[in-house]
Amino acid sequence: MRIVVLAGGIGGARFLQGVRAWDQNAEITAVVNTADDVTLHGLRICTDLDSVMYTLGGGHDEERGWGRTGETWAVKDELAEYGAEPTWFGLGDKDIATHLVRTRMLDAGYPLSAVTDALCDRWKPGVRLLPMTDDRVETHVVLAEELEGAGVRRRAVHFQEWWVRYRASLKADRFVQVGIEDAKPAPGVLEAIAAADLILFAPSNPVVSIDTILGVPGIRAGLAAASAKVVGVSPIIGGAPVRGMAEKCLPVVGVEVSASGVGAHYGARAYGGLLDGWLVDETDAGTVLFGADVRAVPLWMTDPETTARTMVSEAAAIGGIGRE
């Protein structure tokens, strides 16, 4: 059984725990968003890959939701004492070790996919982690700042600055995925999609996690041509995101913050979109996506076993596959 999951950070990681729990013998490939990646203090940081790697490797801080267990912040505090910007990004000491190894390998010329493999030698996530691309792609946010009586000034900041520093409070005009036109899917991504028995969209941020993966040239066409069924899981329950601030991103691209809005955004494969199936929460029962199999199940990811039992098994049923 081969399962491919398109994933962002936290929502992706939790969902992957459920997929792994559902069938321990399945060959699971996670295609992970890398457009949130950022270079700070000379370190290349891959937030979504790290969230997935730490979570599946059992090294994540469950309560905080991101970063390492038992983290300390000595380096961050020392940098702040020097006034070394940026001070708003949470760089833990243990986390920094990951970024040092990654940056050193990238500087030596290894592609990100090979670096991720090497990091996973330690973490053994039980899932093949593939960056969506080895090329540099970064989401920037074009801000529209109202000047008093003097129109609007536009400037772009890195997505992490908008998200982490400003908590998405500054008015965004649009997102730009810098470099995406020239990006190629990382080695193995298109092959995994073509060979899959089931393809899943994790309940990740539709705009800055899933859409960026879909935006890498070749991936959307690969999904459209895949023989496996494609089933998405809604990150929106009852008109609000479960964890995080996806409600800040959807309106920027003109999508309603609802399970049906996100479903329509991905579209049904039968009508030129991507989805054969769409899982929504029970509170959103009655959601319609014409041409797709829409099913309502509990979508709160409390623990991997529950996620496996309620969400993954239902997605697999839509996909027409069973456990090995």
Does residue 232 interact with ligand GDP by CB under 6 A? no
Residue 253 C-beta: closest distance to ligand GDP, Å: 14
Report how far residue 303's alpha carbon sits from residue 323's, in angstroms, rounded to the nearest whole number. Answer: 19
- Please choose which of ligand GDP, Ca ion, none residue 271 contacts, taking the beta carbon within 5 to 8 angstroms, the exact cut-off set by kind: none
Does residue 134 interact with Ca ion by CB under 5 A? no
Kindly tell me which of 79 and 223 has the beta carbon lying closer to ligand GDP: 223
Kindly tell me which of 34 and 258 has the beta carbon lying closer to Ca ion: 34
Does residue 185 interact with Ca ion by CB under 5 A? no
Kindly tell me which of 67 and 319 has the beta carbon lying closer to ligand GDP: 67
Q: At what angle do helices 93-107 and 74-81 cross, to 10 degrees?
A: 80
Q: Which of 37, 92, 36 is nearest to 69 (CA)?
A: 92
**160 Cβ neighbours under 8 A, 6+ residues apart:** 36, 38, 47, 89
Write out the two tokens for 5: 């999951």
Does residue 12 interact with ligand GDP by CB under 6 A? yes
* Binding segment toward Ca ion, per CB under 5 A, in 14-22, 46-54, 170-178, 211-219: 46-54
Per CB under 6 A, contacts with ligand GDP among 197-216 are 202-205, 209
Kindly tell me which of 11 and 185 has the beta carbon lying closer to ligand GDP: 11
- Please choose which of Ca ion, ligand GDP, none residue 11 contacts, taking the beta carbon within 5 to 8 angstroms, the exact cut-off set by kind: ligand GDP
Does residue 48 interact with ligand GDP by CB under 6 A? yes
Kindly tell me which of 125 and 235 has the beta carbon lying closer to ligand GDP: 235
| Neighbour-count burial of 51, counting CB atoms closer than 10 A to its CB (0-12 exposed, 13-18 middle, 19+ buried) | buried
CA 306, 307, 310: angle at the middle one, nearest 5? 75
* Binding segment toward ligand GDP, per CB under 6 A, in 132-140, 283-291, 294-302, 316-324: 294-302
Bridging pattern class, strands 43-45 and 27-32: unpaired
**Rule CB under 6 A: which residues touch ligand GDP?**
7-12, 14, 48, 51, 202-205, 209, 234-235, 237, 241-244, 246, 299-301
